[in-house]
Structure formats: structure tokens, C-alpha cells
Amino acid sequence: GENVEQHPSTLSVQEGDSAVIKCTYSDSASNYFPWYKQELGKGPQLIIDIRSNVGEKKDQRIAVTLNKTAKHFSLHITETQPEDSAVYFCATGDGNKLVFGAGTILRVKS
């Protein structure tokens, strides 16, 4: 089955700096690549997603890039703010069955 590896497990940045989280996957049939943000005591919330026919997608301060040949995709957050502090999960799959990465704890220091 699909295997997703996510790095780093924790990331600490200064407010205003950029943060990058990377995921690699194993199943070349995967065609959907979402990123979720989870705040303490809440459920994961979709923040951005990309499909396999697109290499990059941006939404204000966040962007996702996909390299299907190398089977990896990344989340980029620019101009980080304290409210960006949370756990971020990548996921991938084909259709409705998503496999999630282990998560990255992002701390933005003000």
C-alpha cells in the first residue's frame, strides 16, 4: 500500500521567516495531494491541495509544489505568523482513500 514520509517532525522558525515541509510517497498511482493543519483539540483542516496534473499551486502565503517524477511534494509558508503554529499533515491517495504523513509540529516564535 501507499507509504508517506514527512519531514521534519518539528520545525521552529522566527516570525516572518519561511517554513518548508516535505513529503515523499511510494505509489505512483496517487493523484491527489492535500495538506491539513491541526490546532490543539481540533480536527485537521484542509489548507491547500493539488492534483497530479499541476506542478504548483498558491493561496496567499501558502503554496504546494509537486514533483511526480521524484514522488515528493512540499508545503511552503511565507511570512510566518504566530497563528501558523500548529501540526501540519500531508496526505495522498487515489480517490477517497487518503494516507496521511506523521505530521510536522510548526512553532513560529515571535
Q: What residues make contact with other proteins under the rule CB under 8 A?
A: 32, 34, 36, 41-46, 49, 51, 89, 93, 95-103
Separation between Cα atoms, residue 84 and residue 89, nearest integer Å: 13
- The answer to whether 33 touches 66, Cβ cutoff 8 Å, is yes
What minimum distance in Å lies between the beta carbon of 41 and other proteins? 7
Residue type, 24: T
C-beta of 3 vs 18, nearer to other proteins: 3
What minimum distance in Å lies between the beta carbon of 74 and other proteins? 19
What minimum distance in Å lies between the beta carbon of 20 and other proteins? 21
Beta bridge partners of 7: 22
